Amino acid sequence: MLKGNPDFIPTGVSGFLEKMTELKNLFTFFDLALKAVAPAIGPDGQPKQGPEGPVMEPIIDIREVVKMIADRFMFKDVEKLIPSLKKEREAKEFNQRNKKKMEEAKANTKPRQMPGSIPVSGNAGAGGVSSTPSPVGGQASDAKGEV
């Protein structure tokens, strides 16, 4: 006779097996990625030629596969394994900081008075400036645009 919960599934074992299967698949994909190459294309749109035929280049970014494997093994310093990842991260952070500074600078700029415009009081929405220039010499134009 069975005692206890007969539906008990040991999740630690199944989680471990799932992780091992995922790593096996990543290693298989890594092996495939090393072999997957295509002809390198030059600036003229034609394949580059080497002494033994067309120059071949990888079509899969090996760094990403290695990064995923290192993540599954829970390595703490993946950027030490792949230095270009650190450079990419730093460049991304630099661009984000510059974008934020540009947005702050745009928000902090005050509207400037344009040449030939007259300051208007009580119109804060327009920055206190009238965009219609005054007639030269204070004379109004009599032209109606009729022929």
pLDDT at residue 35 tops 60: yes
Q: What is the pLDDT of residue 29?
A: 92
Domain co-membership, 20 together with 65: yes
Give domain status of residue 141, yes or no: no
Domain that holds residue 32: 15-75
Query: How much of the chain exceeds pLDDT 90, in percent?
Result: 12
Domain co-membership, 44 together with 24: yes
pLDDT at residue 126 tops 80: no
Distance, first Cα to last Cα, the chain = 111
Q: What is the pLDDT of residue 131?
A: 53
As for how many domains the chain has, the answer is 2
pLDDT tens, residue by residue, 36-80? 999 999 889 888 988 988 899 988 888 888 888 888 888 888 888
Confidence of residue 95 (pLDDT cuts 50, 70, 90): very high
Domain co-membership, 27 together with 60: yes
Domain co-membership, 22 together with 58: yes
Pairwise CA distance, residues 83 & 98, whole Å: 23
Give domain status of residue 53, yes or no: yes
Domain co-membership, 41 together with 66: yes
